[in-house]
Structure 1
Amino acid sequence: MQPGPIPDFRPLGRKAYGSIPHLPGSRTGPADRHLSPALARLCTERVRDARDHVVVLEKLDGSCVAAARMGDSVVALGREGRLAAQSPNESRRLWAAWVAAHTERFLAVLQPGERLVGEWLALAHGTRYALRHEPFVAFDLMRDGERLPWSAVVARAEAGGFVTSGVLHEGGPLGIAAALERLQAGGFHGALDPVEGAVWRGERREGDAVRVDFLAKYVRPDKVDGSLLPENTGQAAVWNWRPQAPQP
């Protein structure tokens, strides 16, 4: 019997995470878009005034996933917003099992209607990792379509004991070359291959509040997406992490 179609149920009624525009010179695909030149300069050259704040993070190379709180439950989602437990992809199903095993930690972070977004590094996509920590790395905290500022992401993730993306820089703008130079030693998360790139978060203070204005990314021009995935190599999957088998 042939398997039935994958259910297209999206608990949030939307994607769990959208796409991030690219900075000039970044490797792009047909569906990608670039950040406006004015905002790109704000990231890399000069901010508007002292209320602008730029955070630059290591860009990770795995599967973008989310854990969303719905009432007192936490559901594991893929980037497109579908239930990870129903995915034909083994790595996504491992994500669902991992969220179920760590539900209390996610409940310590999330309010109803919020979701913690990050990179699931269990399966090597185009970068191998000798992970120095668990296979999930958080990089955003969302309420519907709103991002919380980086300081809130870090503080809230710490409440559940979650790792967050390594910070390359925080304050004023940072040029692309300077960001890549800081990644040459392998980044913060044990990359065994060249790090994919970096993500810039543009934040702005308004009175006592901070809003996230935009995100941008830079991907190495020689980066090949999914170069280690078995559907592309014809070889066995390369795992950075897999759950240990129960001891007899």
Structure 2
Amino acid sequence: MAFRPLGRRAYGSIPHLPGSRTGPADRHLSPALARTLTQRARDARDHVVVLEKLDGSCVAAARVGDSLLALGREGQLAAHSANEARRLWATWVARHAERFLAVLRPGERVVGEWLALAHGTRYALPHEPFVAFDLMRDEARSPWREVTERLGNAGFVLPGLVHEGAPLAVEAVMERLGGAGFHGALDPVEGAVWRLERRDAQGVRVELLAKYVRPDKVDGSLLPENSGRPAHWNWRPEAPPPPPEMS
């Protein structure tokens, strides 16, 4: 089994809303919870945040003591990956280590979308190639306000905010996103992510996430192994990192 420094995946799977394009391993959110996100809140303590869903590689930067680890979604070290884009992520984290360490407390990780390599959507990025969408400790997520205050104030790019407050229907969200969304998409925006937060006596907790992917979306359609064409890079430094040494 491949080594996972955290002993777990860096990020889990998110269920789909009704009508979302799914793959064989995907699952749908229950109809009742889907209505809570898109139609009617259970009560005044529900709070919905809707963000643009980006189409890249899910990655993480985790602080373990005073060390910083660049990870893939599965929890393995990105620097040891055979995938060039993952190795670029590890190099980028190392170059921006001070920024990450200034935000992350020991045991925390920031998770986001690494947009260097186009998977199914090309971007004319108006910002750096990493977009942070979660701040986590173990399996617990920080509320969106904390994410924006800590990561946004530190200069990290966050997903475009489509809506915040009451539930909002999929059709309304996709209409607001339009064609290019907030991050310079050159192809139709993939979809959106709904976050359901709940206020209680202890504060605010993230109860669940769900996503909608447009039905005609094809995962990885621009990757060379699928397209038969050269890779399309949304961002790439002049000198990419070398491949890992073979043992």
TM-score (norm 2): 0.95
Moved over 3 A (4+): none
Deviation at 1:208, TM superposition (A): 5.2
Asked whether the 8 Å contact 2:173–2:192 carries over to 1, the reply is yes
Asked whether the 8 Å contact 2:15–2:29 carries over to 1, the reply is yes
- 2:66 corresponds to which letter in structure 1? D
1:225 matched residue in structure 2: 219
2:146 matched residue in structure 1: 152
Q: Does 1:237 align with 2:231?
A: yes
- 2:171 corresponds to which letter in structure 1? A
1:175 matched residue in structure 2: 169
- Partner SS state of residue 164, structure 1: coil
- 2:178 corresponds to which letter in structure 1? Q
Q: Does 1:199 align with 2:159?
A: no
Asked whether the 8 Å contact 1:108–1:159 carries over to 2, the reply is no
- 1:54 corresponds to which letter in structure 2? V
Deviation at 1:207, TM superposition (A): 2.3
Mean CA deviation greater in 204-213 or 74-83? 204-213
1:17-44 CA distance string (max 9 Å, x none): 0000000000001110000111100000
Q: Distance in 2 between matches of 1:158 and 1:216?
A: 22
Asked whether the 8 Å contact 1:127–1:192 carries over to 2, the reply is yes
Asked whether the 8 Å contact 2:179–2:187 carries over to 1, the reply is no
Q: Distance in 2 between matches of 1:207 and 1:188?
A: 35
1:117-140 CA distance string (max 9 Å, x none): 000000000000000000000000
Deviation at 1:184, TM superposition (A): 1.2
2:121 matched residue in structure 1: 127
Q: Distance in 2 between matches of 1:156 and 1:117?
A: 13
Deviation at 1:159, TM superposition (A): 3.9
1:209 matched residue in structure 2: 203
Unaligned runs of 5+ in 1: 1-6
Deviation at 1:185, TM superposition (A): 3.8
- Partner SS state of residue 206, structure 2: strand
Of 93, 103, 111, 1:99 maps to: 93
Q: Distance in 2 between matches of 1:192 and 1:20?
A: 25
Deviation at 1:144, TM superposition (A): 0.4
Q: Distance in 2 between matches of 1:159 and 1:101?
A: 19
2:24 matched residue in structure 1: 30
- Partner SS state of residue 189, structure 1: coil
Q: Distance in 2 between matches of 1:103 and 1:24?
A: 40
Determine what percentage of the aligned residue pairs are the same residue. Answer: 77
- 1:105 corresponds to which letter in structure 2? R
1:4 matched residue in structure 2: none
- 1:50 corresponds to which letter in structure 2? A
Of 53, 57, 77, 2:71 maps to: 77
Q: Does 1:113 align with 2:130?
A: no
Q: Distance in 2 between matches of 1:13 and 1:234?
A: 36
Asked whether the 8 Å contact 1:109–1:159 carries over to 2, the reply is no
1:58 matched residue in structure 2: 52
Mean CA deviation greater in 62-71 or 156-165? 156-165
Deviation at 1:173, TM superposition (A): 0.3
Q: Distance in 2 between matches of 1:231 and 1:156?
A: 38
Q: Distance in 2 between matches of 1:206 and 1:244?
A: 50
- Partner SS state of residue 177, structure 2: coil
Q: Across the two proteins, how many residue pairs are aligned to each other?
A: 240
- 2:154 corresponds to which letter in structure 1? G
Q: Does 1:20 align with 2:1?
A: no
Mean CA deviation greater in 58-67 or 207-216? 207-216
Q: Distance in 2 between matches of 1:158 and 1:176?
A: 26
Deviation at 1:245, TM superposition (A): 4.8
2:155 matched residue in structure 1: 161
